[in-house]
Amino acid sequence: MSHDLFEAAVAAMAKAHAPYSRFPVGAAIRTVDGRIHSGANIENASYPEGWCAETTALAHFVMAGGGEIAEIAVVAERMARITPCGGCRQRLAEFAAADTRLHLCDDTGIVETTTLGALLPLGFRGDGLK
């Protein structure tokens, strides 16, 4: 079942806007009810104003009504087993549990599965702000 999530991330990566870094990235999120939300990185000439593939996928997830995230896949055209950057790890932690599966991919499929908590063990949690 996770291979279709990889394929959604690859399809999203094909739509990346990465004219400056030439480093396309795709991400896909599956909710527990089976919906898939994907995204690609979108660069801007003012580098800090661009956003990552995971951020785009999260935006689609939120706009579609959210839900519980079951698994996430990330793929990059030029880097096998890419992981989300620090900012995206925190963004994902806002919506996904520490035990959410995170699939790291190369150009053929999933090469490693870890958890969001393993990548961000002491992530900042919003429940402390309430």
The string of pLDDT tens digits covering residues 12-53 is 999 999 999 999 999 999 999 999 999 999 999 998 899 999
Active site residues: 54
Whole-structure pTM value: 0.94
Count CB-CB contacts under 10 A for residue 83.
Answer: 15
Cα–Cα–Cα angle for 85, 115, 36, nearest 5°? 80
**Residue spans of beta strands (DSSP E) within the chain:** 25-31, 36-40, 69-76, 101-105, 110-115
How much is the pLDDT for 128?
A: 73
User: Does position 1 have pLDDT exceeding 70, yes or no?
Assistant: no
The string of pLDDT tens digits covering residues 114-125 is 999 999 998 888
